[in-house]
């Protein structure tokens, strides 16, 4: 009887979660397919379905492709740079975690991870303005690194912590240098974790709005800023906005499907 009750509660819980997640996606899809200039219908069905909004954002004068390209290029470059710095740093923090200096550095990384990005906007704006890097992908990548590095270090260290130190010691006995131990032994073991770290880091950069809205204007504008531009002072272009949102979400869904089998390890490790 108790088991039946628990199963019933679990079923209701799953149904609630599915509805809570599914309803926004349903509304997103329906409104993006509504005919042009049709009133918003909420959860109801529109009078007809149309691909006009998708045609507008895909082939219109203000099409979204340049902004998708900016998002992918800036996010990809920032992710690669973040991993290049974060992986050796995370490995070192993992192996030296008994050191007071390493614990202090890791605490500093954790504090930076909790720092709201909005607090860094003005310093970066002043610096990028002086360096003539406003509205450039280079300037945006530099700003995104401040947000991505703590995240990449935090996640990567969890995976390196799962690699026994005895493996490193065995490699050193065989004559490997510390760098060879890191590159040839530790990195291959945490390859799946590195992929997860890369995807989460990329997604964090891809959906960033604060830095992109402040440091870019036209040439380096990213997709989130482009989507926000459908709300003007006089009109809210709901259908076009949601069509652009659906298209912009597809790269994130593909990346998630690529690493979903590795997410269980992150959940067990307490990464959110």
DSSP, residue by residue, 212-244: HHHH-SSTT--HHHHHHTTB-SS-B-HHHHHHH
Q: Any residues with CB less than 8 A from the CB of 69 and at least 6 apart, and which?
A: none
Give strand pairing partners of 236.
231
249's tokens: 């979400």
Q: So what's the pLDDT on residue 266? A: 55
Q: What is the pLDDT of residue 107?
A: 80
Using DSSP's 3-state secondary structure scheme, residue 252 falls into helix
pLDDT at 55: 84
Per-residue pLDDT, 42: 59
Topology classification of domain 59-269 = MetI-like fold (1.10.3720)
Q: What are the Cα distances from residue 243, in Å, to 36, 53, 64, 204, 269?
A: 12, 6, 10, 21, 36
| Ranges of the chain whose pLDDT falls below 50 | 270-272
Cβ count near 37 (within 10 Å):
8
* pLDDT the model gives residue 115: 82
The stretches of the chain forming alpha helices (DSSP H) are 2-32, 52-59, 65-95, 100-114, 118-130, 137-161, 165-173, 178-180, 187-189, 191-206, 210-215, 223-228, 238-259, 263-269
Model-level pTM?
0.84
pLDDT of residue 34: 78
For 197-219, give one letter per residue: b (16+ CB within 10 A) or e.
bbbbbbbbbbbbebbbbbbbeee
Nearest CA-CA partner of 31 in 44, 18, 22, 19: 44
Residue 177: which H helix or E strand, with range?
Answer: none
**How many Å apart are CA 132 and CA 23, to the nearest integer?**
44
- Return all residues near 259 (Cβ < 8 A) that are at least 6 apart: 192, 195, 196, 199
Where does CATH 1.10.3720.10 sit in the chain? Answer: 59-269
């Amino acid at each position: 009887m108790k088991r039946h009750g628990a199963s019933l509660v679990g079923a209701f819980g799953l149904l609630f979660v599915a509805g809570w997640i599914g309803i926004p996606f349903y509304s997103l899809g329906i409104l993006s397919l509504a005919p042009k200039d049709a009133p918003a219908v909420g959860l109801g069905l529109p009078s007809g379905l149309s691909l006009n909004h998708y045609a507008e954002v895909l082939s219109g004068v203000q099409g979204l492709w340049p902004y998708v390209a900016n998002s992918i290029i800036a996010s990809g470059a920032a992710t690669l740079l973040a991993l290049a710095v974060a992986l050796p740093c995370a490995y070192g923090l993992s192996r030296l975690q008994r050191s007071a200096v390493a614990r202090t550095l890791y605490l500093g990384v954790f504090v930076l991870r909790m720092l709201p990005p909005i607090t860094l906007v003005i310093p970066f704006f002043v610096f990028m303005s002086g360096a003539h890097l406003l509205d450039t992908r280079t300037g945006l990548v530099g700003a995104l690194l401040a947000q991505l590095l703590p995240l990449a270090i935090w996640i990567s260290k969890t995976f390196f912590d799962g690699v026994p130190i005895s493996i490193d010691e065995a490699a050193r006995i065989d004559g490997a240098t510390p760098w060879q131990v890191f590159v040839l032994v530790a990195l291959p073991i945490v390859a799946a974790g590195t992929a997860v770290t890369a995807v989460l880091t990329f997604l964090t950069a891809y959906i960033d709005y604060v830095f992109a809205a402040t440091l870019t204007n036209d040439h380096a504008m990213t997709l989130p800023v482009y989507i926000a531009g459908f709300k003007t002072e006089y009109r809210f272009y709901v259908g076009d906005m949601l069509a652009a949102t659906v298209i912009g979400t597809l790269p994130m869904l593909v990346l998630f499907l690529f690493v979903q089998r590795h997410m269980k390890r992150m959940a067990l490790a307490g990464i959110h």
